[in-house]
Structure 1
Amino acid sequence: MRILLFLATNLAILVVASITLSLLGVGSVHDGQGGMNLQSLLIFCAVFGFVGSFISLFLSKWMAKRSTGARVIEQPQTRQEQWLVETVAQLAREAGIGMPEVAIFPSRAANAFATGWNRNASLVAVSDGMLQRFSPNEVKAVMAHEIGHVANGDMVTLSLIQGVVNTFVMFFARIFGNFVDRAVFKNESGRPGIGYFIATIFAELVLGILASIIVMWFSRQREYRADAAGAQLAGAGSMIAALERLRAEQGIPVEMPGELTAFGINANLKNGLAGLLMSHPPLEQRIAALRAGNYR
């Protein structure tokens, strides 16, 4: 299912981007004399960079339900489901957003996520493992954290940032590829040669890692803001208790599709340089920030 979703998303990106470029009248980015039309190149890169980011955003709810197996609570069947829906409704009112869809997804790991392009038509979901092991106050705090993501517009903000970095990764990688093709491979044909494609792919890999570091830094800052929202909506004590419980369960692998990891409350953490590519700060730092009163 995830492979099909990936293929369908990329096909949609190609179709929408091609139509957009055609409407903008953007032709070849190469001028036929070995140079590049930088204006056309920038438009080309921006279209592909932002189209991919925003198609993923607009499809995020649909993809999240199918990739995690989340079951939306249409009509609560148990007292626990009734409580969960009522709790989310209360938190949404206090945060000033529309009532989100509420879902439960199958996972032994304790986790939850929020997604959706519109703060008044979002989705918040919690794992059945969290519902089984966390106290009601802890679950409420986690839901408040996710509502904080929605109220802060984090999904849209991260998509904008991703679109910007995608654009400049593609832009500078192609300029580098064209330079290497002409200066190193001595291609004077006026058309891109093998050196262009090799150098462009290499540059995209390197620049992509650097861009991911930037995006993940913003993602970690979002987590602090969502924790602060959770503390304000559900109480600092409950938010700290929920994070403490998550820390106690760090041995349980977090089972979340890659595209949703940044929107969950919990993530597998790494140390060293790999920590620069993590979407979440260490739980110890998040707890310390709340205890220092950084939620006020």
Structure 2
Amino acid sequence: MKRIFLFILTNLLVMITIGIILSVFGVGSYMNEQGGINFQQLLVFSAIVGFTGAFISLAMSRWMAKMMMGVQVLNPQANLTGSERELVDMVHRIARNAGMSVMPEVGIYESKEVNAFATGPSKRRSLVAISTGLLEEMDRDAVEGIVGHEVAHIVNGDMVTMTLLQGVVNTFVVFLSRIAAWAASRFVKEDVAPIVHFIAVIVFQIVFSILGSLVVFAYSRHREFHADRGGAYLAGKDKMIHALQTLQNYKDRVVSEKQASVATLKISGKPGKTSWFSTHPDLGERIRALQESQF
């Protein structure tokens, strides 16, 4: 959840900022002399803005995660505590087994929620972050399964492929938001049309970005199954299943304690059906898929 949320939020902020700057300086004008739209010019402009926003978000992903989540990176050369040293060694061992030549940064962030995420612009500049809640709740085998899952995200290049997908989504968001804004400006007086158009672009861009995020969420859910299989390969199938079952047990306990918001929003989709806005499939589906997999 954290990795996807931070990426989409950063992407939206970058996109809006780029759009405002270009609008202020009149760059990429797509209006013809008759007040209509040059669709070819607008599409090129949209692609440039869309992919620029996505790649800037990717480049900022590791830094944003550290800043917004308060991740404390563990220096392998420092005098770490026993549990910190064990975590760093575990991540590095699994990363080496996955064929990584440059080890990911390993970080811990203070949170009661049971969560972990991997992010970064490339395999050579990646981060695996674990919450203190996860370390307190899970045993060593479950933690190893989670680490294998997160390293699999890095090795599979999920952040890069997500960036390419986000670039395509952004292109359509920029394109459609400006067409909708142009249409809205046709219904007001000519002297206020530029202001209406400017404001409408921002509003429609936010609305279409939210709708476009459904595509990113669907991709995220699809890749979670692949990361589960990768985690099973790197840490062991039994450990990966054990990790998911531990999450399921934690979720059930939290729900029974009337803390459903933490469980349903931070860990998995709703039981029996997956919400369109969920970044992860239901844990039961993931466990069954892994149990039925053959490798």
Same fold (TM over 0.5): yes
Report the CA distance between 1:180 and its aligned residue. 4.9
Q: Secondary structure at the match of 1:237?
A: helix
Q: Secondary structure at the match of 1:275?
A: coil
Contact 2:271 2:282 in 1 (8 A): no
Aligned partner of 2:173 in structure 1 is: 169
Aligned partner of 2:277 in structure 1 is: 277
Asked if 1:48 is matched to 2:49, the reply is: yes
Report the CA distance between 1:13 and its aligned residue. 7.4
Contact 1:30 1:191 in 2 (8 A): no
Q: Secondary structure at the match of 2:103?
A: coil
Change (3 A) 1:121 1:68: same
Aligned partner of 1:147 in structure 2 is: 151
Contact 2:106 2:129 in 1 (8 A): yes
Report the CA distance between 1:248 and its aligned residue. 1.4
Aligned partner of 2:88 in structure 1 is: 85
Query: What do you get for the CA RMSD once the two structures are aligned?
Result: 3.3
* CA distance in 2: counterparts of 1:149 and 1:87, whole angstroms: 16
* CA distance in 2: counterparts of 1:30 and 1:273, whole angstroms: 45
Query: What letter matches 1:134 in structure 2?
Result: M
Query: What letter matches 2:152 in structure 1?
Result: G
Report the CA distance between 1:16 and its aligned residue. 10
* CA distance in 1: counterparts of 2:79 and 2:15, whole angstroms: 35
Count of residues in Structure 1 that have an aligned counterpart in Structure 2? 274
The residue correspondences of 1:199-278 to structure 2 (distance < 5 A) are 203-204=204-205, 207-250=208-251, 251=254, 254=262, 267=267, 269-270=269-270, 275-278=275-278
Q: TM-score, normalised by structure 1?
A: 0.80
Q: Secondary structure at the match of 2:130?
A: strand
Q: TM-score, normalised by structure 2?
A: 0.80
Report the CA distance between 1:73 and its aligned residue. 0.9
Q: Secondary structure at the match of 1:99?
A: coil
Unaligned ranges ≥5, structure 2: 1-8
* CA distance in 2: counterparts of 1:15 and 1:198, whole angstroms: 14
* CA distance in 2: counterparts of 1:16 and 1:209, whole angstroms: 17
* CA distance in 1: counterparts of 2:57 and 2:13, whole angstroms: 9
Q: Secondary structure at the match of 1:277?
A: coil
Change (3 A) 1:109 1:146: same
Aligned partner of 1:258 in structure 2 is: none
Aligned partner of 1:289 in structure 2 is: 289
Unaligned ranges ≥5, structure 1: 1-5, 256-260
Change (3 A) 1:273 1:209: farther
